[in-house]
């Protein structure tokens, strides 16, 4: 699979109608994350990897949680609600967090926004590295990120890696027990909004066939 065909499939993927298995439609503080996919020089057809980070324990929100690079909307990113605004937010925050230059990422398109119990409404942007993973230098901001790794798509699709847990959260002032996606990748436990985004992305990729 050439890079052109791969990116064409990603563009088809973001256009699919494929909702989250569970996410309430609730407003929150606008934010955007980058689901960054890359390929290596020796990648076989269809092989690719996704950049995953872990937030520093010193942060006030989501400390120690696995995440996709990204953060809150800034007024300089543009008007809230415009697709290009979410792209600017995701690319800017990614450069600030892990040092990947905005020019090194080709934005593909958004996945549906999702609400988080911490009060954010997050818009995921799918982006593709413009060059092989080996050619990209990552310099994490130690104040925000304490770990990062490239996670193979095949790992996330391995039977038994994904499962559902129940969690109690407050929605519109009422406690509800809801399903929560969890991925166990080696020693890494990826859950919550990040896992929901990954599960949605995987479902879309598999739906393409």
pLDDT at 3: 79
**At residue 85, what are phi and psi to the nearest 5 degrees?**
-65, -45
Asked whether 125 and 107 are in contact (CB, 8 A), the reply is yes
Q: Give me the chain's average pLDDT, please.
A: 89
Examine residue 153 and state whether it is found in any structural domain, yes or no: yes
Better pLDDT: 204 or 56: 204
Domain ranges, residue 105: 3-157+192-208
Examine residue 174 and state whether it is found in any structural domain, yes or no: no
Beta strands 145-152; 120-129: pairing state: unpaired
Q: Across residues 95-99, what is the average pLDDT?
A: 95
Asked whether 195 and 156 are in contact (CB, 8 A), the reply is no
- Residue 184: closest CA among 207, 165, 209: 165
The per-residue pLDDT for range 10-61, each reduced to its tens digit, is 999 999 999 987 766 677 888 999 999 999 998 887 789 999 999 886 655 6
Examine residue 166 and state whether it is found in any structural domain, yes or no: no
pLDDT at 63: 58
* pLDDT-above-90 percentage for the chain: 63
pLDDT at 164: 93
Better pLDDT: 88 or 42: 88
Residues in the chain: 209
Examine residue 18 and state whether it is found in any structural domain, yes or no: yes
| 3-15 helix and 192-208 helix, angle to the nearest 10 degrees | 110
Report which DSSP code applies to 158.
S
Q: How far is CA 5 from the centre of its chain?
A: 22
Predicted confidence (pLDDT) at residue 8 exceeds the cutoff of 60: yes
Enumerate residues 6+ apart whose C-beta is below 8 A from 47.
39, 40, 152, 153, 154
Q: 104 falls in which pLDDT band (50, 70, 90)?
A: very high
Q: Across residues 130-151, what is the average pLDDT?
A: 93
Examine residue 167 and state whether it is found in any structural domain, yes or no: no
Predicted confidence (pLDDT) at residue 138 exceeds the cutoff of 90: yes
Residue 147: CATH number of its domain: 3.90.79.10
Enumerate residues 6+ apart whose C-beta is below 8 A from 200.
18, 19, 20, 111, 112
Examine residue 185 and state whether it is found in any structural domain, yes or no: no
- Residue 124: closest CA among 194, 75, 38: 194
Q: 108 falls in which pLDDT band (50, 70, 90)?
A: very high
Examine residue 34 and state whether it is found in any structural domain, yes or no: yes
Examine residue 177 and state whether it is found in any structural domain, yes or no: no
Q: How many domains does the chain have?
A: 1
Q: Across residues 74-84, what is the average pLDDT?
A: 85
């Amino acid at each position: 699979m050439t890079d052109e065909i791969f990116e064409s499939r990603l563009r088809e993927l973001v256009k699919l109608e494929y909702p989250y298995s569970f996410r309430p439609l609730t407003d929150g503080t606008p934010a955007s994350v980058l689901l960054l996919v890359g390929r290596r020089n020796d990648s076989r057809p269809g092989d690719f990897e996704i950049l995953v980070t872990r937030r520093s324990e010193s942060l006030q929100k989501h400390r120690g949680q696995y995440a996709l690079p990204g953060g809150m909307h800034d007024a300089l990113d543009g008007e809230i609600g415009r697709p290009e605004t979410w792209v600017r937010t995701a690319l800017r925050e990614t450069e600030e967090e892990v040092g990947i230059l905005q020019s090194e990422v080709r934005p593909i398109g958004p996945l549906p926004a999702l609400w988080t119990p911490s009060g954010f409404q997050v818009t995921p942007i799918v982006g593709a590295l413009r060059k092989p993973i080996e050619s990209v230098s990552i310099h994490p901001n130690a104040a925000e990120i304490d770990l990062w790794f490239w996670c193979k798509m095949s790992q996330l699709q391995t039977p038994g890696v994904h499962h559902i847990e129940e969690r109690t959260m407050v929605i519109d002032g009422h406690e509800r027990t809801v399903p929560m996606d969890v991925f166990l990748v080696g020693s890494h436990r990826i859950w919550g909004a990040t896992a929901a985004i990954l599960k949605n992305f995987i479902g879309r990729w598999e739906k393409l066939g």
